[in-house]
Structure formats: structure tokens, C-alpha cells
């Protein structure tokens, strides 16, 4: 089983952390029958992905899995909807609420994703509230979801969806409306397992 990570500037197609990194423009030749999952970073060219929609739709429909990061503005997969920016004034408008348990986030605390800080090592949540900066995980939402969508997290007091997945054919699409999920898989946050669980989900080892 192969899991691809499609980026704008690959580092020689190296394999690291369970991913084989490829240039997104090489996707048509790389998305072969042996590939089970595709991780799209938030900065990929959505205009180009829109041109590749037949390939992407077919990949998921036959059983593949895709993780979409960032702010979707081009509908390059069936079922995707457009990201919208939230109005926010304080961390309470950006806090996460877990609506549904999901294997990618299993064993993680939604609060651990809210704050970033320059302090190294684990920091108690009360201290993060005092010194941290909120909003790196996400500052927007997907208010219009496909009928079959399963909401994982909502954001803020309005409880707008930020993370969700949905079936497409025999495969699944997972959408995260913020910075790349992999950057939140750290020991300092107590969320290192997020990386392994992402790979496992893309390998179709988890529901």
C-alpha cells in the first residue's frame, strides 16, 4: 500500500513518516492502482486539481481515500464545498468541539489544537490560555456539507463545521478547514499519534 503526499515543492519524492512525497503536477502518473491514499497540503494548486477532477473522483470512487487541507475554493472533488472565513474576537470563537469520534483524532484532546506558543515542551492548558496564540488550527468553516457528511469538529460558539468526512463511491474524503493537520502531530501537544493515525486511515486500515 502506498500513501502519497502531494505538495508544490517536493523533496525528491522521498518516503518519510509513511508518505511518499510527490509534486502535485505529477499526480496523474503517480496515482496508480497501488495507491490507497492521497494527502493534499493546504497550498496545492486548486485550479490544477480542478482539471484533475475526473481522476480524483475515480480514485476515491474505487476505494481510495483523500485528506484535503486548507481553504477549498475550487470544487476539485465531488461533494466538496467552499470554505468561509469566520468572524472572531477571542479564543472562544475559535475553540473546537468534537461532535463525532474519528480514527484520525482518536485519543487526542480538541483543546490541544487551539493554541500555539514559542515555549518548548508540554505546557499546561491554563498556561497556554495565558501565553498562547489561538487560531492556527483553523479560522473558518464549511457551512454547506454534502448530505452524507460526518462532522468531526465544529469551531467557535456558532458550532460551524471545520473537520468532516464523507463517502464517495467505496472511498472516503476527509476535509480539514485549516493549516495542514500534520503540523499538529507533536509530542509537545500530546498529539504525536495524529500522524500515525492519519497514515493508517489513508491506508484504509480504519473506518
The DSSP secondary structure of 167-196, one letter per residue, reads: EETTEEEEEE-SS-GGGG--TTTT-THHHH
More confident residue, 80 or 127: 80
More confident residue, 13 or 144: 144
Task: Among 3-12, 29-38, 59-68, 183-192, name the most confident range.
Answer: 59-68
Is the Cβ–Cβ distance between 200 and 187 less than 8 Å?
A: no
Average pLDDT of the chain, as a whole number: 89
Where are the chain's structural domains? 2-202
> pLDDT tens across 86-133, in order?
988 888 889 999 999 999 999 999 998 987 676 676 767 676 666 567
Counting residues of the chain whose pLDDT is more than 70, the rounded percentage is 88
Give the model's confidence band at 152: pLDDT under 50 very low, under 70 low, under 90 confident, else very high. Answer: very high
What 8-state DSSP symbol labels residue 87?
Answer: P
Residue 65 has pLDDT above 90, yes or no: yes
In degrees and rounded to multiples of 5, residue 59 shows phi and psi of -60, -45
In degrees and rounded to multiples of 5, residue 143 shows phi and psi of -75, -20
Mean pLDDT for 159-184 is 96
**Cα 188 to chain center, whole Å?**
20
Mean pLDDT for 67-74 is 97
Q: Which of 43-47, 92-96, 167-171, 175-179 has the lowest mean pLDDT?
A: 92-96
What is the per-residue burial (b if ≥16 Cβ within 10 Å, else e) of 78-105? ebbbebeebebeebebbbbeeeeebebb
More confident residue, 89 or 207: 89
Q: Is this prediction's pTM over 0.95?
A: no
Query: Which pLDDT belongs to residue 188?
Result: 84
Residue 12 has pLDDT above 80, yes or no: no
Residue 14 has pLDDT above 60, yes or no: no
CATH code of 2-202, in short, is 3.40.50
Amino acid at each position: 500500500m502506498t500513501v502519497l503526499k502531494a505538495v508544490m515543492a517536493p523533496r525528491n519524492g522521498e518516503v518519510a513518516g509513511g508518505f511518499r512525497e510527490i509534486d502535485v503536477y505529477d499526480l496523474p502518473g503517480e496515482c496508480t492502482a497501488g495507491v490507497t491514499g492521497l494527502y493534499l497540503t493546504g497550498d496545492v494548486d486548486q485550479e490544477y486539481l480542478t482539471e484533475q477532477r475526473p481522476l480524483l473522483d475515480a480514485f476515491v470512487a474505487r476505494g481510495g481515500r483523500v485528506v484535503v487541507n486548507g481553504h477549498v475554493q475550487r470544487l476539485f472533488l465531488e461533494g466538496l464545498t467552499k470554505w468561509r472565513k469566520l468572524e472572531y474576537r477571542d479564543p472562544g470563537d475559535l475553540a473546537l468541539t468534537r461532535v463525532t469520534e474519528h480514527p484520525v483524532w482518536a485519543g487526542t484532546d480538541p483543546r490541544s489544537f487551539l493554541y500555539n506558543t514559542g515555549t518548548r515542551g508540554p505546557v499546561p492548558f491554563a498556561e497556554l490560555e495565558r501565553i498562547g496564540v489561538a487560531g492556527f488550527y483553523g479560522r473558518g468553516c464549511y457551512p454547506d456539507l454534502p448530505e452524507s457528511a460526518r462532522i468531526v469538529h465544529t469551531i467557535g460558539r456558532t458550532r460551524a463545521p471545520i473537520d468532516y468526512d464523507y463517502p464517495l463511491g467505496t472511498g472516503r474524503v476527509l476535509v480539514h478547514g485549516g493549516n495542514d493537520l500534520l503540523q499538529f502531530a507533536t509530542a509537545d501537544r500530546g498529539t504525536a499519534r495524529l500522524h500515525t493515525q492519519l497514515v493508517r486511515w489513508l491506508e484504509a486500515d480504519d473506518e
